[in-house]
Structures are given as C-alpha cells and as structure tokens.
C-alpha cells in the first residue's frame, strides 16, 4: 500500500492566519473567543463566538473575483494558497490531472443565504445578488480551490456536519492509497457566524454563555468558530523524490455511524471510529501518545468521548495527553476537523501537546489528562484526531512521525 505524507499546511483561523501565527498562538494558549454583536431591530444582541479577525480576501485572489465567493470559500482559497506554496509543489499539466480537491464543509454559504433573505424578506427588495447561487452552494469552496490552483483531478465536497473535514481528509487518504490520485488538497472550510445560524444553535440549548471549557467541571456547552484548514497530501515516494519537507505520515482513517440518536453521541459508535483508525494505521493502542479530541464543551459529548477513549485504550487512556483545541478557536463545524488536524500535525512535528483552555477543574465523568491550560513539551510519535457529528457520524484519523 502506498504510504501517504503531509507536506504543506495552510490556515485561516480565529487564532491567526498563516501557519507561523497559528502555531505560535496554538502553543501559546491564545483564545480566539470574543463577544459577537448583532443589531436586531434596534436592539444589540451578543453571542460568544470565535470569528476570524481582519481577513482580507484581496490578499489571496484577484479582487475582481472576490464577489463571486462567500466568506467560507474565500477562507478555503486563502488556506489552499498557503498550503501549496508551503509544500513547494508545482502542478504541471500532468500532475494537475492527478491532483484532487477533497474538502469538508458542513453548512456552506450561510453568509450569502442570510444576506439574500434579508434583502428579500426584511428590506423588501425584489431581487438578490446575481451570484447568490454559485456563492452559497456547498461545493463552492472545493470548486474555487480547484480553479485558483488549477487542480483538474477528482474534486468534491464531503458534508457530514462536524465530521466533514475528517471524512474529507480520510477520503483523500483512501484515494491516494488506491492510486486514483497522486496529490490531494484537503481539509475543511466553514463560515456561519451569522445571526440566523447563531440563533439556531442557541435554540438547541447547547451553547455556552461565555467560554468553551471542554472536559471541565461545570462546562456549559459549545462556542461556534469559523475558518479553513488545508493540507497537501502526497505519496512518501514522490515527496522524498522531490526533497519536500515532510511534516508527518497520514497513517490511518476510521469511521462509524451510531445508528441511534440525532444529537446524543454514543460511546460504542465513537470508540469504533477510533479503533478503526488505529487498526487501519496498523498501530497498537499503547503506542498512541496524543489525542486531539472532538471536545466540544457540551456535558454529553465530553463525557461520552472520555468513556469511548477508556473503552478503546483501557489503562493506557491515562497515559494519553488529550487536547481540546475548540477551547482556543471554537467549533468551526465543517472546518473543525481540519483546524484540529493542523494542531495534531504540529503536535507530532514539534513534540508539543496544545492546551485545553479554561479548564479550572476536571469533572467526575472526565478524569483523564486533558493538558489543562498550558501546552506541554513531550514526545509525540503517534496521535489521533477525532470528530463526532450530529447525526451520529464519527471519524478519526491517525498521524505519526515518519521513520
């Protein structure tokens, strides 16, 4: 089987744009959560959220094209440009046909949807912006990356809510292993910090009033984020032949479906996804050092994820350094698994587990090592990155040091 490696990273996130800033803020314990305000009929309504700050799409694409892209697709193009540049990869015509864009997006062009409804239903306009449809379609970000980078091979979007990006990256791994493609531009992109979306999440009664505090005692729920994370994947052989910098090996992928409840996670479903990733990578459970958890900060997710890790790892669960990066950049839904994959790859590459912020104290249901508040230098040879989506769709990916 072909071995697949990670040779380029790109990011637009609530804790920084570009990998140097992201890395510094990730390990430095920066929190990107703030209060986001909306004017609603003269009243100011605020939500805790983790927005991307000071994003300038003109920096990443022809300014004339910017109006064709919703914010989530602009993020995707910006992160993809960074990643391909960092990988030092030139897509010759032959290689372009053997390259694919496999991207995770959970919601799509929500900024465009709400802007259109506002025009029609609130402001009373009789028409919407001419690019409404091509901006809002959920595959728009994948298509825009393909056009901007000239990628001509298999390209599509994977949508599985909060697990979209991990399903996308795992699908890219499978396509690369099978020989259907030789290079993948993969990850996730999302931007849905709109008034309507935030109201929708509020109505589910699972949102924290202030901060995201995964695995902590008294945690009160999620905080939404946004952003894009992109990885360049290629075969070990090709990367070595061109002398590329190799971050780590993308060693395995596991999936499962709970087949139970729309919103309540299931221990057995989660543990099967994690175990499938470990088996796919050919690892033993006791060789894993680090987990980037789904860790949303809801009472039920964090307790269920802890129980699933105990089920998979047994006593070794207590040896794991478990980081919940949503405490830093919120829950970016379809991009979450990609931003957390960047954190996982950096953890392996730099031998450092990022912190779980806002921790204070552990919960009786969450009694493992969650790397509270401060990042930790430690040897990390093997790591997993989990996402568990609404709808009971679970995915986990395995990353290891190249040896």
Partner 1 sequence: MSNSQIDEIMDIVAQKALLDRSRLKPEARLSDLNVSSLDMVEVVFALEDKFGITLPFNANTDGAGLATVGDVIALVEKQLSVQKAQG
250 with 175: CB under 8 angstroms? no
Q: Which of 31, 212, 290, 331 is catalytic?
A: 331
Annotated active-site residue in 31, 167, 294, 366:
294
Asked whether the beta carbons of 175 and 401 are under 8 A apart, the reply is: no
Q: In the complex with partner 1, which residue's Cβ is closer, 15 or 393?
A: 393
* Segment contacting partner 1 by CB under 8 A, of 262-270, 272-280, 323-331, 379-387: 262-270
Question: What six digits make up the tokens of 325?
Answer: 């990066």
CA distances, 289 to each of 97, 155, 292, 337, 402 (Å): 37, 33, 10, 19, 15
**Min separation Cβ 265 and partner 1, Å:** 12
283: number of Cβ within 10 Å: 18
Residue 66 or 206: the one with the smaller Cβ distance to partner 1 is 206
* Residue 34 vs 363, nearer CB to partner 1: 363
Known catalytic membership, residue 294: yes
Nearer to partner 1, 229 or 297 (CB): 297
Interactions with partner 1, residue window 196-255 (CB under 8 A): 203-209, 218-221
Q: What is the CB neighbour count within 10 angstroms for residue 89? A: 22
361 binding partner 1? (CB under 8 A): no
| 187 φ/ψ sector (left φ>0, alpha ψ -120 to 50, else beta) | left
Site for partner 1 in 292-331 (CB under 8 A): 298-300
Distance, in Å, from the CA atom of 79 to the CA atom of 200, rounded to the nearest integer, reads 28
Query: From the candidates 162, 212, 352, 366, which is the catalytic residue?
Result: 162
How many degrees, rounded to 5, is the angle at CA 57 between CA 55 and CA 61?
A: 150
Is 31 designated active site?
no
Respond yes or no: is residue 316 known to be catalytic.
Answer: no
Q: Where are the beta strands (DSSP E) in 304-372?
A: 321-323, 352-353
Out of 262, 361, 364, 403, point to the residue binding partner 1 (CB under 8 A): 262
121-126 CB contacts, 8 Å cutoff, 24+ apart: none
Q: How many residues form the binding site for partner 1 (CB under 8 A)? A: 18
Site string for partner 1, 100-139 (x = CB under 8 A): ----------------------------------------
Residues that bind partner 1 (CB under 8 A): 203-209, 218-221, 261-264, 298-300
């Amino acid at each position: 089987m072909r071995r697949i490696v990670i040779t380029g990273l790109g990011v637009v996130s609530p804790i920084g744009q570009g990998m140097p800033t992201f890395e510094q803020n990730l390990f430095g314990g920066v929190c990107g959560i703030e209060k986001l305000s909306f004017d609603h009929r003269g009243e100011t309504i605020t939500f805790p959220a983790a927005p991307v700050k000071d994003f300038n799409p003109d920096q990443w694409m022809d300014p004339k094209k910017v109006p064709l892209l919703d914010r989530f697709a602009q993020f995707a193009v910006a992160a993809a440009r960074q990643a391909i540049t960092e990988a030092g990869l030139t897509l010759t015509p032959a290689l372009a046909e053997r390259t694919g864009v496999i991207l995770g997006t959970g919601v799509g062009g929500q900024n465009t949807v709400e802007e259109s409804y506002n025009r029609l239903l609130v402001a009373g306009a009789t028409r919407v912006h001419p690019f409404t449809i091509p901006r809002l379609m959920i595959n728009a970000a994948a298509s825009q990356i393909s056009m901007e980078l000239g990628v001509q091979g298999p390209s599509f979007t994977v949508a599985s809510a909060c697990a979209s990006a991990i399903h996308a990256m795992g699908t890219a791994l499978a396509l690369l292993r099978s020989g259907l493609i030789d290079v993948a531009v993969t990850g996730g992109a999302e931007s849905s910090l709109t008034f309507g979306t935030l109201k929708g999440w509020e109505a589910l009664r699972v949102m924290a009033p202030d901060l995201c505090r995964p695995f902590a005692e008294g945690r009160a729920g999620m905080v939404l984020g946004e952003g894009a994370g992109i990885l360049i994947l290629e075969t070990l052989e090709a990367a070595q032949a061109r002398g590329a910098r190799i971050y780590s090996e993308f060693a395995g992928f596991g999936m499962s479906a709970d087949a139970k409840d729309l919103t309540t996670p299931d221990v057995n479903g989660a543990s099967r996804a994690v175990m499938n990733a470990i088996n796919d990578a050919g690892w033993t459970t006791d060789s894993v050092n680090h987990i980037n958890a789904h860790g949303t900060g809801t009472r039920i997710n964090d307790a269920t994820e802890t129980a699933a890790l105990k089920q998979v790892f047994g006593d070794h669960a207590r040896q794991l350094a478990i980081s919940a990066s949503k405490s830093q950049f919120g829950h970016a839904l379809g991009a979450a698994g990609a931003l957390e994959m960047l954190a996982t790859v950096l953890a392996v590459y730099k031998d450092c587990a990022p912190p779980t912020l806002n921790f204070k104290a552990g919960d009786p249901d969450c009694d493992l090592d969650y790397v509270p508040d401060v990042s930790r230098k430690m040897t990390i040879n093997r790591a997993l990155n989990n996402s568990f989506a609404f709808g009971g769709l679970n995915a986990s990916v395995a990353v290891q040091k190249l040896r």
